Every structure is written in C-alpha cells, then in structure tokens.
Amino acid sequence: MEKIGVIGAGSWGTALAQTIAGKGYDVHIYDVNREHLDEMNKNRENVRYLPGVPFSDNIKIAYTAEEALDGAMMALFSAPSQFFRSAAENALPYLTSEMIIVNVAKGIEQKTLRRMSEIADEVFSAEIPDYKYAVLSGPSHAEEVGRAMPTTVAVAAKCEETALRVQDIFMTSRFRIYTTSDVAGVELGGALKNIIALGAGISDGMGFGDNAKAALMTRGIAEITRLGVKLGADARTFNGLAGIGDLIVTCTSMHSRNRRCGIMIGEGMAPDEATKKVGMVVEGMYTTQAAYELAQRVGVEMPITEAIYDVINGRINASDAAEMLMGRERRHEPEEH
C-alpha cells in the first residue's frame, strides 16, 4: 500500500484520513498533542473531535512527524491555519520533491496576512525548489465526510498534473473532486467565507430571519469576490464549490463552528467566551482580523467584514452592526469587481 502522512488530527484531517484509508492507502496520522494521540490509539477513534467514526484498519497513529512522513508519497496538512507555518517547518526535514503536499487549512495568517500557499513557498522553496503543492477546499463538514455522506470539493494546484493526482487519490463514489489552477481563489474562498458564517450566526442569534441571512450571504460573496480579484484570483472561482458552495454550507449548518460561535455572540455572549465554548478552533475569529487588515492594505471595501471586526473587538454591539449595514448609502447591483 502507498503511504500517506497526515499532519494534524482534528476533525477534518481525521475525516480525510478515513476517506483515503478506505481506498487502501496506508495512512499515518500525527499531531503535536501526544495525549490526543494516545486517546486515538487506545480508542481507534477520534473521540475528541470526530466521535462515532471508528478508524479504518489502514489508519495508524504516528508519534513524530518523521514517523508519519518517512516513505510517504503525500503529506496532508490539516493543522489550523495559524499553526500551519510551525507544522510545515517541523515537517520540512522529512519532505521530498517526490511527495505531494496537500493543505486543507482555511485561513489567513495573522500579522503576515499570508495565504497558506504563500507560507508554503516561504518554508519549502529554499529546501525543495520543485515541491508539489495543492489546496483542497469546498462545502465539506468533517462530520459528514467521515461518515461517507456525498460531498463535492475542489482541489487547486498550479501544476495540472499535481491537481489530477490529488483528484485521483481522494475521489470516491461519495467524495467527488473538481480540479482548478486558481490556488489563490480556492484559498481565499475557503478562508473568507468563515467571516460571513460568523455574521450569519450573529444574525440567527439575534432572531433575524431567512431574509437577513440570504442578504448577508449574497452581499458577503460580493465582497469576498472583490478582495479575491484584487489579490489575483479568478472571479469565477467564487461562484463555484470553493466560493458560494462553501459559503452556503458554513452559513446554514450547525456543524459550522463559525456559525455556532456567531449565534452565541448574537445572543449576547462575549466573543472570547463564545469561542471557548465552541471547544475547537473558530477560524473566522482569526480570519476576520487578517481580512480586515488586508482589505485596508489593498483598498477594498468590505462592509460586512468591517462590521464583524468591530463586533468581535468590542467596538460596537451586534445591534449597532445591523443598523450600520442596513443604513449604508444606496448602491447599484450588480457591481464591477
């Protein structure tokens, strides 16, 4: 069996490990939390983050990055976006030019405002000049993928051969993959939709209806596209799985950590308390900060992002944010990006 190393044992990494293990790959999962690894080894299940999904026999627990990656043909990084850089640096000594590197984190690094592929280039390019990188994203809750419920996502790579190889590795009768070369668009769609999902949750928590959420999602994809195009992405990407597809599922499902966190904020809970109560990383809280700064830097108007930024930083409350958005000056639709 061909070996695949998974770096990061959260819900999403575990669900993807289960998917490829079911195809006969020899999957080795590593995480920096040794206690978590011990629990998974004992229970043969990720009880902490993906309960109710027993491990395939092809899944093994690795206690070091070297153990997970030695001899692997693919390295799957599923660490949260703010930890991708450290995970990549830790794994670097064990990566080779023959390996495919797949990243599934959805976010923008704070302070540097880098996308995950930009971080990968900083970490890998000097040691592995011809490294093969791909990003996988789309409407895909781990709770459903782990249970083999029908799901469709996109994989992006600059090299078509790499994208096609990743498509072949992951694709099953229940997990369909589309390929694209728009790495920036897929990464930005996956990251920025978490901001709008926070807003959708806040709207739900305040008791607003379907009309408000539909408007938030529609105007949300408009500002996501504006920023994406400014940063070199293809506008069409945001009309696909990595854009509107991921936005829909994250804004409407209770599987969504970002939406659940937003609901609690809309009900009056402090943002930091809501984040703790979710119990897992809420990517939108980090991405809102980074996207706000990025939009300011490149001169792109993102009113929803700005409003959510003000709410989670305690500048205004959710009611004030709603009034501010509804009271903006008149505009014309559709807009030019």
Position 149, amino acid: M
The tokens of 71 are what? 């001899």
User: Look-up: residue for tokens 């700064």?
Assistant: 293
Position 230, amino acid: K
Phi-psi region of 44 (alpha: psi -120 to 50; beta: other; left: phi over 0): left
CA nearest neighbour of 171 among 29, 23, 53, 27: 23
What's the angle, vertex CA 21, arms to CA 19 and CA 26, rounded to 5? 150
φ/ψ (deg, to 5) at 40: -65, -40
CA nearest neighbour of 192 among 229, 150, 147: 229
Between CA 176 and CA 195 the distance in angstroms is 26
Catalytic residues: 193
Between CA 125 and CA 130 the distance in angstroms is 7
The neighbouring-strand residues paired with 148 are none
CA distances from 225 to 155, 158, 244, 318 (A): 19, 20, 10, 24
Between CA 305 and CA 287 the distance in angstroms is 10
The tokens of 244 are what? 């509107």
Between CA 98 and CA 119 the distance in angstroms is 20
